Chains A and B, each alone.
Chain A
């Protein structure tokens, strides 16, 4: 069964460093998302991406964040200058086009900023 994959599973970085989180969505999906979950809190929407552009972003997704689909398979989230409060699980998700709402999530990347 096709699945969303994410790398790395765990990333430790120092405050102020840049990190890139990588995702490979399901191949025939056309909508892509990033969500995050800070420990003990709910899963929060960060950004949606469709047709090679951001379709919506949350208040969390400020100028330090960017997303890219550099080729036909990868979808990346970049944080330019990490802060302590960026420590969280980051989930990538994808969905097919059309009226189906179900999003399929990857296993997540645990980002720890020290």
Chain B
């Protein structure tokens, strides 16, 4: 039951170029979406989020785009840096529930090459 899907297990980009990580969801009740970054042996670190009432949210080098009709979101990192190399998780939440639990995708391993 994959309600949140990250179909690319890995992505490799050159330093300075754009990284685009994609995420699809199937549960139409999801209305808040988050991206987390995870280094080995560490917990997920919150990166950026977007509410379903928006289609774009930007924070420095990171921008998240949401296409509700397609149930698709993407994370853009510009410019990519070697320190961005990590696993990126897409997560979703349903505000109708009272506990704000997160449903995660399987993650995409981003490698930024110098």
Contact = CB atoms under 8 A, between A and B. Distances in A.
B87 to A, nearest CB: 10
B43 A48 contact: no
Given A42-B107, A43-B89, A56-B97, A103 B102 contact: yes
Interface of A: 4, 6, 31, 33, 35, 41-45, 48, 50, 55-56, 91, 93, 95, 99, 101-108
A43 B104 contact: yes
Contact of A56 (B45, B95, B101, B107): B101
16 contacts: A6-B43, A31-B99, A33-B102, A35-B102, A48-B100, A55-B98, A93-B43, A95-B100, A101-B32, A101-B95, A102-B49, A103-B46, A105-B36, A105-B44, A107-B43, A108-B43
Nearest to B6: A42
Q: Interface residue tally of chain B, by bracket?
A: 20 to 34
- The CB with the most chain A CB atoms within 10 A, among B46, B49, B91, B100, is that of B100
Interface in B42-73: 42-46, 49
B42 A107 contact: yes
A31 to B, nearest CB: 6
Contacts, number: 63
Given A102-B34, A102-B49, A45 B41 contact: no
B106 interface: yes
Nearest to A41: B106
When A and B form their complex, which 4 residue pairs have the shortest distance between CB atoms, in order from nearest? A105-B43, A48-B99, A55-B99, A43-B104
Contacts of A6: 43
Contacts of B98: 50, 55
B103 interface: yes
Contact of A45 (B95, B103, B106): B103
Contact of B99 (A43, A44, A50, A105): A50
